[in-house]
């Protein structure tokens, strides 16, 4: 588990919260405890940025399942409506 606290930073152009990286060998579950900057990219590489006015708190947990295991959501969490919403979000 990794907990990150990014205080407000008036010089955001000079600071990176967390350098560009990828979570290549793990499944990452991220909880944004506070509001974020609203910028998301569909990419394996990602980074954390700071905000000039607001603090940011995030908690990430990492899971490394065996490579030959099938990973899927708990069936009770998957409904046709949720699947359709996810597919629509990808468009």
Residue ranges making up the domain that contains 79: 2-90
Give the pLDDT confidence of 23-50 residue by residue, as tens digits. 777 777 777 766 655 555 566 777 777 7
Instruction: Please compute the mean of the pLDDT values over residues 51-70 and round it to a whole number.
Output: 82
Is the pLDDT confidence value at 60 over 70?
yes
Share of the chain above pLDDT 70, in %: 82
Q: Looking at the 3D structure of the chain, how many domains does it have?
A: 1
Contact 7, 51 (CB under 8 A): no
With contact defined as beta carbons under 8 Å apart, do 13 and 49 qualify? Answer: no
């Amino acid at each position: 588990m990794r907990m990150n606290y990014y205080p407000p930073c008036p010089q955001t152009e000079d600071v990176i919260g967390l350098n560009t990286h990828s979570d290549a060998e793990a499944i990452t579950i991220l909880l944004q405890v506070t509001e974020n900057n609203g910028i998301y990219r569909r990419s394996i590489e990602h980074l954390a940025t700071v905000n000039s006015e607001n603090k940011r708190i995030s908690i990430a947990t990492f899971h490394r399942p065996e490579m030959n295991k099938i990973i899927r959501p708990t069936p009770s969490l998957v409904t046709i409506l949720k699947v359709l919403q996810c597919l629509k979000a990808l468009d």
